Structure 1
Amino acid sequence: MPRKFLSRVVVFILFASFGADASKILAITPLPSPSHGLWYRILLEALAEKGHQVTAFMPYIGKNKTGISYFEIEGIFPDEGVLELTNLGPKEHVEAIWEYATAIGALQIESSAAKKLQELSESDEKFDLIIFELCYGEHFASLFPRFRAPIFAINAYADGFWNWDFLDVDNHPSVYVQSVLSYVSPMSFFERVANFLTLYYDKYHYGQYLKRQQAHAYAKFGTDVAKIEDVLYSLEFMIINSGPPGVDPGRILPPNVKEVGCLQCRPVNPENLQKEVREFLDGANDGFIFFSLGTNVKSIMLPQEVIDGILKVFSKLKLKVVWKFENDDLPGKPKNVMINKWLSQQDVLGHTNARLFITHGGRLSAQEATYHGTPMLAIPFMLDQHKNAETVVKAGVGLKLGFLQYTKEKFEWSIHEVLNNPRYKENAQTRSAIAKDRITTPLEEAVFWVEYMIRHNGTKHLRPAGHHLNSVEQSQVHFLILSEQIQELGVARL
């Protein structure tokens, strides 16, 4: 039998075997952030490649391909007002976040995608699993019980306290820093106090936000839909974009919560780069700097005087600079600087000539720089970016420059410090080795747990003991245990 024909037979048999076990998956990931959408699409498309049929509702949709169909959720992340978040203290930052989430929810509940999802919930179509992003869009969860399928929670944003609360994961404010604060553990006494107050102020506003989401659901879908909190507290499993161990602070996790940090990370593929970009980087004999503020904060949002100062600093360097800049032209751009609206970030960071990553400090960007061993200069603007930037400093893989403290002189000094001090590169390579040293890839692990939940029609058997107790009952148990310990201590002293 000819080898080519035999190989085709093997491929056909493998595809048929996948098809025999193919499941129907409904995915809803409402957060309107392009970078988060990329993280979710990697997972969903990996499931489609395994032969599963995926119906995905999300903003910033990908291209429909074999095994996956996308429906766009309207309601996008606004450009205006992003830089203003930098000026806010923790209290105002928390308030602004939930005001924004409420506004997005009001838009999305009126979208054509919401109507389509409601129609699906009222139809006879069956799904084997629901994948739900546990970050915004909770009004959609009110429809889930109609599908009678287990719910698999996912989140590319690992710092929301609600992730941990709904699945009984320890989030003690003496240990774990809240997302809007720029602390790192271990915290001082006053930092722990501020962290405690911030957490419970955040929880209060989240509770008010859920009430508004519930009102949206009743108004749009009918008063017979489920209570959102009941659905969220019934979640059986979650994968979350934290870890790997040794990079993020370790948590004691129950069996039904798995960390899959760096799920999106992969080896370099130069073919992903545009020809002119690849040639520019290959020709950077003295190395190059990669400058990107991510997808939500854009370089074109920067004040003109800041852009002018950055260009003056870059013009003095022997190194080349590739800058993710959202306009076609950049007046005053020196010859050693290339601008591009969209770059394959990991293939730039993993290039052998990469010397420094100037970043906003978003979780995905920080993970990718860690994975590829590239030192960082973090300029945070909002949310967890501040904490991520502090982690960069604490880990010794780079420096932080606060946007409000930015000056051309500080910017220039920071660049030269990271470039010329070898400890940053050494530490970055050490963390890279830790991030890559795993039994299997995070993506393979995520796919495994999705299929595990489908095979067993849920994962109630993985819930931690005591999950059924409410907060009052748990407090009663803690009080009784404490009383017994006090009594035993008294007896021992006698």
Structure 2
Amino acid sequence: MVLQSMCSGAFRLAIVVWSIGCLSTIAAHRILACEPSPGHSHWNVMSAVLESLVAAGHEVVCVTMHPATDRLAAHPNYTHVDMSSMAIGSLQTARDMDYAHVMKVFRSNAFMVGLATARAMYVCEYLLDMPEIRDMLDGRGPAFDAVIMESLHSECMSALPDRLGVPAIYVIPSPPVNWMPVATGAPDHPSYLGAMLADRPTPVTFGHRLANALVYVHTTLVRWYSDAGRDHRWPEHRHTMVFVNTHHSVEPGRPMGPNVLEIGGIHLNRPLEPIPRDLADVMDSSNEFGVIVFTFGSLVAMNTLPDDVLDKFKIVFSQLPQTVIWKYENDTMPDKPENVVLCKWLPQRAILHHPNVKLFISHGGMSGVYEVVEAGVPVLGMPLFYDQPRNIQNLVDLGMALSMKINNLTHTALSEAINRIIKDKSFSENAKRVSSLYRDRPMTPSESVVYWVEYLIRHGTEADIRPSSADASWTSHFMLDMCAAMVTALLTIWFVARAVLHVALDKSIPSDVK
């Protein structure tokens, strides 16, 4: 008995020693992150990236105005450097904003590009005035192994990776932005790749290609020839990598090099939040017609929609047999239909996974798109601005959605769209098919992020993963130099041949004929 106890104790001690030895082989790295964008959806993606890294044992120091998520706040490896004092005016953390204000701020693509450029200058000035950033730029700050930045508003931070001599990683919380290929060398052409701010992800007709080319040229010129774009550009060292919030099951395929990683839906690595008991009872007890979920996410407060638009929704919803769960920021709603349940907050992802959900009415934010794709639920999209028209069009092209414009909504069109999606089983079948494609992957986005960050840190400047196309000028990229050379050669041959022929003919004609 004593011998057995001694053996058991020795075995446990060996296990402990072996475990400590294994832990000691894990190389914990120190990573600097910067998320200056006020958009909650932007932080939703960046925070998921950082959660993956701290969970893998790495230390993360993040400069942002956003409060830490629960998972980050609970982790000792996460340090928050607050920049919320910068949050004034349109740079405040964007949540539950007034509809009219949102549509004014984002009234056109041209205005949005100009606004983003102006914001970038302001954010850069703020960041460069922070003592922590100045110390790092001057070489007096703490050591880091990598720098992770959001692509929007962090242009001036691009100097940090070069100054620190570490890899630079950019996180794009949307489809690929027009200036991404310049840094990554990914092939990019407006004839077949839709610009992010264009309504169609894949231009098909001549009109689509023309509109796409105009958007592409405008955003590129503004970005690269404005003060912000000219002074603060993405670094061109060869160990730059980009994490983009897309997945080929949703976004049309595009050529990308090994330095571009798709992490679409990385925020889905979080566990499902529980559905509140009263709301779960409503969903469980819904009739055989099921439930419709209606929300515009965290950006727009639904109670600020114009009265005529709210009335149209209420009239149509009152005629439906389904229960409608409506994210609405007031406790009460005038003339609320009996089948409508109001909620100031929704655990959206958990609700979409409920088996009784038949339809998701959404503005098409990127986070919501991947949540509904994961759940396999059809969509009625009402995009408002930015990448939302493109996001919804992706789902329309996949056969799992219809799209409507909220500013010219009619009772008839809204009712017909809802009933068509619910009654036509192809929408539900396509949604489940796309969900299956999305889920079938060799590594989760979180695992991919951890692997590639560690890969870049392990190999440093030896990680030459940027294609040579990244070093090509725009004239060589579009083969303008070759076209000019060939045209010049052909014209030279033509003029020489014409001159020779003219001389030959002139000599062959007798002088008396002349």
For normalisation by structure 1, the TM-score amounts to 0.85
1:102 pairs with 98, 113, 118, which one?
118
The answer as to 2:241 corresponding to 1:237 is yes
1:25-52 Cα offsets, whole Å, 9 max, x none, are 0011222111221111111011101110
- Give the drift of 1:12: 6.0
**CA-to-partner distance for each residue in 1:343-362, whole Å, 9 max, x for gaps?**
22211111111111100012
Change (3 A) 1:5 1:330: farther
- SS of 2:317 mapped into structure 1: helix
Kept in 2, the 8 Å contact 1:83–1:297? The answer is no
| Distance in 2, Cα, partners of 1:39 & 1:145 | 25
Distance of 1:28 and 1:341 partners within structure 2: 30
Alignment of 1:98-177 (within 5 A): 98-103=114-119, 105-106=121-122, 109-110=125-126, 114-122=130-138, 123-177=140-194
Q: Which residue of 2 aligns with 1:194?
A: 211
Contact persistence 2:61–2:79 (CA under 8 A): yes
Residue in 2 that maps onto 1:13? 20
d(CA) in 2 for partners of 1:423, 1:267: 30
AA of the residue aligned to 1:237: M
Q: 1:405 to 1:430 in 2, by over 3 A?
A: same
The alpha-carbon distance between structure 1 residues 249 and 401, as it changes in their structure 2 partners (threshold 3 A), is same
Judge conservation of contact 1:300–1:327 (CA < 8 Å) in 2. yes
Question: What corresponds to 1:306 in structure 2?
Answer: 309
Q: Cα distance, 1:302 vs. partner?
A: 0.9
Of residues 272, 277, 280, the one that matches 1:278 is 280
Matches within 5 A, 1:386-405: 386-405=389-408
Residue in structure 2 matching 1:419, options 419, 422, 426: 422
Structure 1 partner of 2:65: 59
1:15 positional shift:
8.0
Q: Secondary structure at the match of 1:103?
A: helix
Q: Shift in Å at residue 283 of structure 1?
A: 2.5
* Equivalent residue, structure 1, for 2:82: 72
Three-state SS of the structure 2 residue aligned to 1:192 is: helix
Give a deviation string over 1:394-438, Cα, whole Å, max 9, x none: 221121111122123322221111111111001111111111111
Alignment deviations for residues 51-93 of structure 1 (CA, whole Å, 9 cap, x no partner)? 100001123221422211122333325635312367x5xxx42
**C-alpha spacing 1:112/1:479, structure 2 compared with 1 (3 Å):** closer
Q: Deviations over 1:245-274 (max 9, x none)?
A: 2421111211211222222235973x5323
Aligned twin of 1:26: 32
* 1:228 paired to 2:232: yes
Question: d(CA) in 1 for partners of 2:397 and 2:462?
Answer: 38
State the superposition RMSD in angstroms: 3.2
Counterpart in 1 of 2:501? none
Q: Could you tell me how far 1:363 is from its partner in structure 2?
A: 2.0
Deviation at 1:179, TM superposition (A): 2.4
Distance change (3 Å), C-alpha of 1:10 and 1:175: farther
Is the 1:132–1:153 contact (alpha carbons within 8 Å) kept by the matching residues of 2?
yes
Deviations 1:77-128 (A, max 9, x none): 5635312367x5xxx4223332244136415633699443333444241000
Aligned to 1:343: 346
Q: 2:46 matched to 1:40?
A: yes
**How much does 1:474 deviate?**
5.2
Paired residues for 1:84-95 under 5 Å: 84=104, 88=107, 92-95=108-111
CA distance in 2, matches of 1:8, 1:337: 57
CA contact (8 A) 1:83 1:301 kept: no
SS at structure 1 position matched to 2:200: coil
Q: Cα offset for 1:133?
A: 1.2
Q: Give the whole-Å Cα distance in 2 for the aligned partners of 1:481 and 1:441.
A: 47
The two structures have a TM-score, normalised by structure 2, of 0.82
Question: SS in structure 2 opposite 1:237?
Answer: strand
Of 472-481 and 42-51, deviating more is: 472-481
Residue 114 of structure 2 aligns with an amino acid whose one-letter code is W
The count of residues paired between Structure 1 and Structure 2 equals: 467
Counterpart CA distance in 1 for 2:285 and 2:297 is 25
What CA distance in whole angstroms lies between the structure 2 residues aligned with 1:10 and 1:309?
A: 68
1:210-256 C-alpha deviation (Å, 9 max, x unpaired):
x2367xxxxxxxxxxxx52262576621121122x242111121121
- Contact 1:72–1:113 (CA under 8 A) maintained in structure 2: no
Bigger Rg, structure 1 or 2: 2
